[in-house]
Structure 1
Amino acid sequence: MNSKFYWLSAAHLLSSTALSSFLLIQQYITTNVLSSPELVGILLAVNFLPKVVFIPIGGYIADRYSKRALLFNTTFLRIILLLWAAYFSYAGSLAMEQLYVISFVFGILDAIFIPTANSCLPYIVSNKKLHKANSIFSACYQLGVIIGPLVISILIDDFSLTDALISTVIILIICSLATLQVLTEPVSQNGLVEGPVKSILSGYEVIKKINMAQDLGFLTITSFFFIGVLTVLTPSLAAINFGSNAKYIGSLNAIYGVGIIAFSLFAQFSKSSLRVSLLTATMMLSILIIMLSQTTTYILSSIIYFICGFIISWVNVSVITTAQQRSPKELVGKTIALIVFSSQVCLPLSFGLISLLINLNFSVPDITLIYGIGFMILSVVVAYIRHSFNIKALRE
């Protein structure tokens, strides 16, 4: 690894810390300041939807323009938005309208920052080290998710909301300085880089050409079934089994994050191949979800969350690394963007299905069990389709 990679990892860590901090600040403002907890879901959707919709365009932009400039400019715009929020907070006039605007623009900026940051790696890390580099990258992101809310919650409780916002701004300022140290090769202006619409459509041809269409199938069902359970049902499962104390929800999420970081450490010291069979990984995750639906002990739940974090990090790192290695450098931003798009586009459907099942009076453990069984069945279906395509290709 070289200094460019470590600067990029630092920027990724700081960006994740700031974004997770602002997410907690938004939830705190909505629930405790504006007394509108019913609007938290809408606020999250306002941030999530533009990120999903615009990320293919973000991949096009990442391949077209200077990566260092994109990382710096998106971070700088976040700083401006948070300073605006801090001003309204100090003046006591921060309202949902401002939060909606900031959250929406943050979603668009994420759609550019994510593929740009990931597409930098093939330029600054050799192919042989990409797997380990991606594992560190994943750990940096997760570490930021853990650190951000922890630090900001202390600042909100012991100081003020405005101080918390200013602290987040400072984190982003340091992040912007780190991005300026990330120097990559100049972007190749050739015929492979097309107009936005044609580029996005041709991205799927790139995915097919590098033989990753079925990998995206595994990633999509993993997101639908696993992330659906993790995001929506964890609070309910914790409340049913261990009580309504928030420490159980926070600790389970933290243990999941520790599992992700543990994989990064494992990847750094492992001398064997770090590729994972996606069918094996998804089957293991589905079994863990089924076990989670039946367990009532905190220790077993903690073990399940840790193993899930380890495996999901292995899956994500394997898919991203394969895409970076197989895709031409001038198209890697588009490839990464389409992978992220595929992994997140079905999440609203997953959340909606869980809400529907709850309204139909299914219990939370039963919904978890249904998702685990569904995950297992669709994993086999995707594996069968992949096998059929491979057989067809051999015959041709």
Structure 2
Amino acid sequence: MSKPMSVQPALWRDRRFLWLSAAWFCAILGQQTALIALPWLVLQRGGDGLALGLIVTAMELPRAVFIIVGGAVADRYSPRRVFQCSLLCCAALLALLGYAAYRGGLPLAWLYPFAAAMGVVAAFTGPSAAALLPNTVPEEKLQQANSVFMAVNQLTLLTGPMLAGALIALPGVRAGGGLGLAFLLGAACFLSAGLMLSRLRPRAAAQPPSAQSAAGILRAIRRGAAWTWGDATLRALFFYWAVIAFLTAGPIQIGLPLLVKTAMGLDAGHFGTLLSAQGAGSLLGMALLSLLPLKALGRLGWMVFCADALMGALIIGLGLSPAFAASCAMMFLIGLLGGLVQVRLMAWIQARIPAEMRGRVMSFLMFMMAAVTPLSTTLAGVSLASAPVRALFAGAGLLLIGVAVLALCSPRLRAIGAPGGSGPAKLRPNPSLQTGD
């Protein structure tokens, strides 16, 4: 009980962590503001559902293609500098879009290259940010730091849409002016985040580059891929996580709004309430994780796979429940389990990866997530054309339970987090891949 109490005050006295937390909040707030304003801009310029889908595709494809390159660049040139440059690029893109939207002369066709440019920048933002946190705080504080960052994500999901919506509907502003102001707000958030990272100094002295530092980006990617594939436990866990994402993305992103509208006969306000319930559960799960001793949560492997099996049962119940209050309670529990699992598992993964490999290895995980999510949502949409929405939840929940049970039957995965078992893989440091910050 004494260890969590001693770690928490030290973390909040760490100026490096405070600057990084503030920059992270501004960056995610800018992202959420842009993601709310962009669909409205597409619709205002005469676009329809197909145009919205093409805009999302134009953004996601470059991100999936370049995200592994982004991880290698972050490892070679320092996560802080890559993250800062990508934030400033986001600020410039949103400022240009905001100015054009405010003036009212922005054709719909111009949004496609803009979306593609944002996707390319996001491919460098994600891996560099994931590699920067473990370079900023000591390993023993990673779990609490991840808990704070994921809580920030949940908070921005509430504040970002509200700020963007208020600006879009601002009275007394010309048509498109509110959208322009929303994009300019996002640009200001990204700019603030980039400037805050200038205050983030290296925790250790920078190592001078060696003669091997001329190795190309492709060689670095191959080395990172070889290390990831060679770690059998991490490889199996990444594939498991991709399967879980595939089974849950479709029901939540596509099935849930249809469940609310068609099966329950409710409106969009109730749909938002369900998502808020999930966010509240996630916040509580992250808070509990920072307060409870690790022994109270059990071994990591058992905790992860048992929680996923319970989420499968809750997804089945969500599809069968006729009562809105019960659905809110189940969404809250899904968020609670997700908050408990994600923070602890992410801290274990980050601690397992050598410092000079973190950007690349995390980019492989992000690539898998970026690849399976569109597949899941597309398959969900196709299946709903011939099957009721409740069947989608039942099938996904049963498959989720089955996958979690199979993982529990694997001694390697079940031993994750056990003392002396599946510990961090060792790798001789390569000076050519070290970063200064």
TM-score between the two structures when normalised by the length of structure 1:
0.91
1:245 corresponds to which residue? 267
2:194 corresponds to which residue? 176
User: 1:298 pairs with 324, 333, 336, which one?
Assistant: 324
1:377 corresponds to which residue? 402
User: 2:97 pairs with 61, 85, 92, which one?
Assistant: 85
Which SS does the other structure have where 1:34 is aligned?
coil
Residue identity opposite 1:198 in structure 2: R
Which SS does the other structure have where 1:321 is aligned?
helix
For the pair 1:96 / 2:118, whether they are aligned, the reply is no
Q: Structure 2 matches for 1:1-396, cutoff 5 A?
A: 1=11, 2-159=14-171, 160-184=178-202, 185=204, 186=206, 189=209, 194-210=215-231, 211-273=233-295, 275=300, 277-359=303-385, 361-384=386-409, 387=412
Residue identity opposite 1:19 in structure 2: Q
| TM-fit CA distance, 1:389 | 11
| TM-fit CA distance, 1:192 | 9.1
Shift of the 385–314 alpha-carbon distance from structure 1 to 2, 3 Å rule, reads same
Segment drifting more, 56-65 vs 346-355: 346-355
CA distance in 1, matches of 2:413, 2:350: 25
Shift of the 216–152 alpha-carbon distance from structure 1 to 2, 3 Å rule, reads same
Shift of the 389–19 alpha-carbon distance from structure 1 to 2, 3 Å rule, reads closer
| TM-fit CA distance, 1:21 | 1.1
CA distance in 1, matches of 2:340, 2:111: 35
Residue identity opposite 1:252 in structure 2: L
Which SS does the other structure have where 1:362 is aligned?
coil
2:418 corresponds to which residue? none
- Please tell me whether the aligned partners of residues 70 and 116 of structure 1 are also in contact (alpha carbons under 8 angstroms): yes
CA distance in 2, matches of 1:69, 1:85: 24
| TM-fit CA distance, 1:290 | 0.8
Segment drifting more, 126-135 vs 175-184: 175-184
Shift of the 17–188 alpha-carbon distance from structure 1 to 2, 3 Å rule, reads farther
- Please tell me whether the aligned partners of residues 86 and 124 of structure 2 are also in contact (alpha carbons under 8 angstroms): yes
| TM-fit CA distance, 1:209 | 4.3
CA distance in 2, matches of 1:21, 1:358: 30
CA distance in 2, matches of 1:340, 1:386: 26
Deviations 1:3-52 (A, max 9, x none): 11121122122111111111111111122442423321221222222222
Residue identity opposite 2:367 in structure 1: F
CA distance in 2, matches of 1:81, 1:353: 33
- Please tell me whether the aligned partners of residues 83 and 166 of structure 1 are also in contact (alpha carbons under 8 angstroms): yes
Which SS does the other structure have where 2:402 is aligned?
helix
Q: State the identity as a percent.
A: 23
Residue identity opposite 2:268 in structure 1: A
Query: RMSD value over aligned CA atoms?
Result: 2.4
| TM-fit CA distance, 1:272 | 2.5
CA distance in 1, matches of 2:53, 2:359: 30
CA distance in 2, matches of 1:127, 1:270: 18
CA distance in 1, matches of 2:272, 2:208: 45
- Please tell me whether the aligned partners of residues 306 and 404 of structure 2 are also in contact (alpha carbons under 8 angstroms): no
Deviations 1:78-105 (A, max 9, x none): 1111121122212312222222222212
- Please tell me whether the aligned partners of residues 308 and 401 of structure 2 are also in contact (alpha carbons under 8 angstroms): yes
- Please tell me whether the aligned partners of residues 289 and 369 of structure 1 are also in contact (alpha carbons under 8 angstroms): yes
TM-score between the two structures when normalised by the length of structure 2:
0.83
Structure 2: runs of 5+ lacking an equivalent = 1-10, 172-177, 416-420, 423-437
CA distance in 1, matches of 2:112, 2:104: 17
